[in-house]
Amino acid sequence: METEGRSAIRNEHTTLWLLLILRGAHLAGLAPVAVPLAHRLLFLTNSLAHVYQQVAPSDFVLKHRRGPYYPDAQFTFERLAVQGLVDLGPLRWDRSHSFPEIETEFSLSHAGTELLKHLANASRWCNEVMAFTTDLCAAVATVEDGEEIETMDEDLTYAQSWAKQNTVIPFRYEEQRLSGQAIREFTNLAPDSLQPNRQHLLRLYLKYLEKVADAE
């Protein structure tokens, strides 16, 4: 029973986290969110959560041939759509790989929006994660249109040379969170009179990744 309880809490953590990502994407002009972008936003919020002193629902990522990927999250998105909390875009087949896959887009529904409003009024945690996911999505939105996927794939935690396709990349421990280390370095490089806040740090990091992607 104890294991089942922990599993239920973890599932609810992921569910609310995904809804908050979709809310942030809507505010940042990134919605509706296609499947590849949705998984990358989930990964970045996981890997950068500690910048906002938050505990993310996952501390690893699968380096799938399609990029950062969370199989359980995909199921959760679909469950939320059945529950009416997420709207699905048109379904279509992606036949560009040896295994055809269904593609769609996700956006927060009216019911999902109302649920988050209620939770924001009742939960400090929800408010704090809402601020984080909003800032992260706003930072991604500063990347040039059409370059978001390539930019996010340059994340320092994800793009490590040792991690080949189908590798699980962990970032449970501080020394494994290269993304967070880079953000701290931005802070160290800034003069004391111009210390960036957390929102600015996220934007600096995304612009840095964009330059890395452009250079390749």
Please give the Cα distance from 39 to 148 (Å, whole number). Answer: 12
What is the structure's pLDDT at 23?
98
What is the structure's pLDDT at 111?
96
What is the structure's pLDDT at 97?
60
Q: Could you tell me if 41 and 70 are in contact, meaning their C-beta atoms sit under 8 angstroms apart?
A: no
What is the structure's pLDDT at 144?
95
pTM higher than 0.85 for the full model? yes
10-residue mean pLDDT series, the chain (216 residues):
41 91 97 95 96 94 90 88 92 65 87 94 93 97 96 96 94 94 86 82 96 92
Sign of the four-CA dihedral 200, 143, 209, 48: positive
What is the structure's pLDDT at 160?
95
Please give the Cα distance from 99 to 197 (Å, whole number). Answer: 44
Each domain of the chain, given as residue ranges in start order, spans: 2-215
What is the structure's pLDDT at 8?
41
Interhelix angle for 110-122 vs 124-141, to 10°? 130
